[in-house]
């Protein structure tokens, strides 16, 4: 395999995990991180002690705090910035020569929706509207059941590389042909992005139900599987309303596969957040959902589902869609109802959720 030069924008867990897989596969990878301590720990000790502690990283992976340096002369740039900071991150590198002339291929790992004055936008839409015009329809979205910890360990992981440009999808797939990764191409850019964002919302509810089930005579494994099935239906309903092109997207690894691991894995931050809503009343720290998003750092980790929940609510209102689970979580996070009331509603309206 020919070694490629790769820049990764974002030094969080998922960005680090994929950067490690690529570096371990022989690519020369440079990662941009805001935090000086991430640079120091990765470059000197080959470990991201802040965001992915306990995992030894390849010497082919280095970190810089200079985003221009990381973007310059790279054949591929992989965006792993949180959705709230996505557009501002991209704007910093638009004048880099290999970006300005369109010679670098962009792929995105960012999950969720991006706020704008015209309503929530998808990740690739935001990226392509910020980059030079040559990138319209040419960026790639990468998603799948892929917790950073297992990717960093080299454990087998399946991903989807979705793009309107099939050649670029294949180029990203070939880049990621490294030990531990199996990557498949897709043309359903919207469907894959919706799966990646919405599954986090379902996982928060799953985590809450899981915590309640520890001391419940009502909820158990059967109820949790029912919730996952209903949640998958809601994801597909949202995806098709947003313009997804392939129904099988929702029954493949980017749909049911990613939903399953996000709900059930011990590494899942969204599942953990749902559990913390029940076990430690974490929502007592916040006035409502907007306050939670503005002060998300107080949580101690990033539950993407809380942010996505707000934007899915906005999209549903605009399109006249009723999603019982997603709407219920919105009302819980917005302090309109208590978590147990949501669970009662899900029992009463289960047939609707599964219809």
Partners of 62 in the β-ladder: 30
C-alpha distances out from residue 71 to 9, 12, 94, 190, 210, Å: 8, 17, 9, 26, 42
Residue 321, class by beta-carbon neighbours within 10 Å (0-12 exposed, 13-18 middle, 19+ buried)?
Answer: middle
The DSSP annotation for 160-197 comes to: EEE-SSHHHHHHHHHHT-STTEEEEEES-HHHHHHHHH
What DSSP designation does 315 have? H
Contact 162, 32 (CB under 8 A): no
Sheet containing 61-64: give its strands across: 61-64, 28-32, 5-9, 76-79, 105-108, 140-143, 157-162, 181-186
CA dist 284 to 101, 298, 299, 327, Å? 50, 11, 11, 20
What does the block give as tokens for 93? 């590198």
- The answer to whether 275 and 207 are in contact (CB under 8 A) is yes
Neighbouring C-beta atoms of residue 311, cutoff 10 Å: 20
- Does the annotation mark 298 as catalytic? no
**Residue from 74, 199, 310, 322 carrying the catalytic annotation:** 199
41: nearest Cα among 65, 22, 6, 68 = 65
Active centre residues (catalytic)? 199
């Amino acid at each position: 395999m020919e070694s490629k030069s790769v820049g990764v924008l974002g030094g969080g867990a998922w960005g680090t995990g994929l950067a490690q897989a690529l570096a371990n596969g022989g690519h020369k990878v440079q990662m941009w991180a805001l935090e000086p301590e991430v640079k120091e720990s990765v470059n000197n000790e080959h470990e991201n002690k802040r965001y992915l502690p306990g995992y030894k990283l390849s010497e082919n992976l280095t970190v810089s705090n200079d985003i221009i340096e990381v973007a310059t002369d790279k054949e591929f740039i992989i965006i792993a910035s949180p959705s709230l900071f996505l557009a501002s991150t991209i704007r910093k590198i638009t004048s880099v020569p290999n970006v300005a002339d369109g010679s670098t291929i962009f792929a995105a790992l960012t999950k969720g929706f991006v706020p704008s004055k015209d309503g929530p936008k998808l990740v690739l839409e935001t990226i392509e509207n910020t980059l030079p015009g040559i990138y319209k329809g040419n960026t790639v979205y990468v998603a799948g059941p892929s917790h950073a910890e297992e990717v960093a360990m080299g454990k087998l992981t399946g991903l989807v590389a979705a793009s309107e440009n099939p050649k670029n999808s294949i180029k990203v797939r070939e880049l990621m042909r490294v030990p531990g990764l199996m990557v498949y191409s897709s043309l359903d850019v919207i469907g894959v992005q919706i799966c990646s964002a919405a599954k986090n919302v379902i996982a928060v509810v799953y985590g809450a139900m899981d915590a309640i089930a520890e001391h419940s005579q009502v909820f158990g494994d059967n109820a949790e599987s029912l919730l996952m099935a209903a949640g998958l239906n809601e994801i597909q309903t949202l995806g098709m309303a947003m313009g997804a092109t392939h129904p099988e997207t929702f029954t493949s690894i980017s749909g049911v596969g990613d939903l399953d691991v996000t709900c059930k894995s011990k590494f899942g931050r969204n599942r953990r957040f749902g559990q913390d809503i029940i076990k430690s009343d974490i929502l007592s720290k916040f006035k409502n959902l907007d306050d939670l998003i503005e002060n998300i750092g107080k949580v101690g980790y990033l539950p993407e589902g809380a942010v996505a929940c707000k934007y899915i609510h906005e999209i549903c209102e605009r399109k006249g869609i009723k999603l019982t689970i997603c709407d219920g979580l919105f009302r819980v996070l917005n302090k309109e109802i208590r978590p147990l009331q949501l669970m009662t509603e899900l029992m009463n309206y289960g047939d609707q959720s599964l219809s």
